[in-house]
Amino acid sequence: MEQVLRPIYQERASFPETLGVIIVEKRGKGDPTTDTFDAILLIITADEDPPIFTKHYTDGNEKAAMHIISEKQLRKWLLQGSKRKVVDWLFYGKVYFDRNEFVERLKTEFQEYPFHGRNIKMGLEFSQLVRDYMEGKTFFEQGNGMDAYHHVVKSLHHLARLAVIENGLVPEVTVWSQVKKIDPAIYKLYKELIMSEEPLEKRLELLFLASEFFIHNRTIDGARHLMDVLAEKEQWTIQELHEHEEARLYSIDLEVFIEFLIEKGIIKVVQSDSKNEFIFHRDYRVE
């Protein structure tokens, strides 16, 4: 397939805005990493319009997908950890063009994690961990075991990725292979949830107790980035936080995360007067 794609990536490499060209070949039949395509052609560009452009190709037998991604969009995905397969493409694909070593520098930067960027990633994973844990516990208390199980599995995945980031590594698609070496206790917890022969209710009870311990021990580090944002000024409205360049990365998890940190005594609620004398504005500041 590489031979068929060569004229395409050679043409793209000639464009001044093209920063890098990477080809990822499938590792086996129906490989989900390549979206079942035989090859992925990843082109990184400085052009931001559009941020994502995709085309599909075939030579009659095999198929390939070309993704042209802006540097800004790629960095956003890497920071948020929202496109795990892109991490795989970046690190394990074959680099065919690398303008001024852009791709190699990006990989090095991502692996070494500038401290601030690492705090953002930890905050995002921790906020999602908190939400899934809380939703899972609510479902469990309502007697909805299967829904609780679903959210507990999701929370453990966030816990696993958080453990990898804490160790200065990049969470890969095969994150549990990483966690097995990095943090055997979390790996054992996950294994007991999905493989134990205990009744589901008993497994969930044990998981919620263990999760409380893991969450408690990671709260300060998980909240560090949001605390740094709140420390930028004396107090914030929720709208100001939703509009903040970094705080808005938390998206739908921001408000439940803030409420969790209020409960833990890390964020304080500040009441201020509104136009209605019977109700107050609810603002926030870091303790």
Final residue belonging to a domain, choices 95, 111, 127: 111
Does the pLDDT at position 99 exceed 70? yes
Q: Do 68 and 145 sit in the same domain of this protein? A: no
Bridge partners, 199 (sequence order): none
| Domain residue limits at 101 | 2-111
Q: Do 92 and 217 sit in the same domain of this protein? A: no
- Report d(CA 236, CA 186) in Å as an integer: 36
Domain of 245, CATH number, reads: 1.20.120.330
Q: Do 121 and 258 sit in the same domain of this protein? A: yes
Number of domains into which the chain is organized: 2
Q: Do 103 and 126 sit in the same domain of this protein? A: no
Q: Do 50 and 186 sit in the same domain of this protein? A: no
On the question of a cis peptide bond just before residue 50, with omega within 30 degrees of 0, the verdict is yes
Q: Do 148 and 43 sit in the same domain of this protein? A: no
137, 136, 176, 184: which is closest to 160 by C-alpha? 176
* Longest CA pairwise span in the chain (Å): 73
- Report d(CA 272, CA 234) in Å as an integer: 13
The SS3 of residue 174 is: coil
What 106-112 contacts at long range (C-beta under 8 Å, 24+ apart), as own/partner pairs, is 106/20, 106/74, 110/78, 110/170, 111/169, 111/170, 112/168
- Report d(CA 236, CA 256) in Å as an integer: 16
Instruction: Quote the pLDDT of residue 173.
Output: 73
Instruction: Quote the pLDDT of residue 116.
Output: 66
Q: Do 200 and 62 sit in the same domain of this protein? A: no
Q: Do 154 and 28 sit in the same domain of this protein? A: no
How wide is the angle at C-alpha 41 spanned by C-alphas 37 and 44, nearest 5°? 140
Q: What is the mean pLDDT of the chain?
A: 91
Q: Do 266 and 163 sit in the same domain of this protein? A: yes
User: How large is the average pLDDT for residues 177-197?
Assistant: 94
Q: Do 164 and 208 sit in the same domain of this protein? A: yes
Instruction: Quote the pLDDT of residue 83.
Output: 80
Q: Do 123 and 171 sit in the same domain of this protein? A: yes
The SS3 of residue 175 is: helix
Does the pLDDT at position 114 exceed 70? no
pLDDT digits (tens, 9 = 90+) for 207-237: 999 999 999 999 999 999 999 999 999 999 9
Final residue belonging to a domain, choices 111, 138, 163: 111
Write the burial class of residue 26 (CB in 10 Å: 0-12 exposed, 13-18 middle, 19+ buried).
Answer: buried
User: How large is the average pLDDT for residues 226-254?
Assistant: 94
pLDDT digits (tens, 9 = 90+) for 160-180: 999 999 988 878 778 999 999
More confident: 178 or 78: 178
Final residue belonging to a domain, choices 111, 127, 145: 111
Does the pLDDT at position 115 exceed 90? no
| pLDDT cut 70: percent of the chain above it | 97
Q: Do 65 and 122 sit in the same domain of this protein? A: no
| pLDDT cut 90: percent of the chain above it | 72
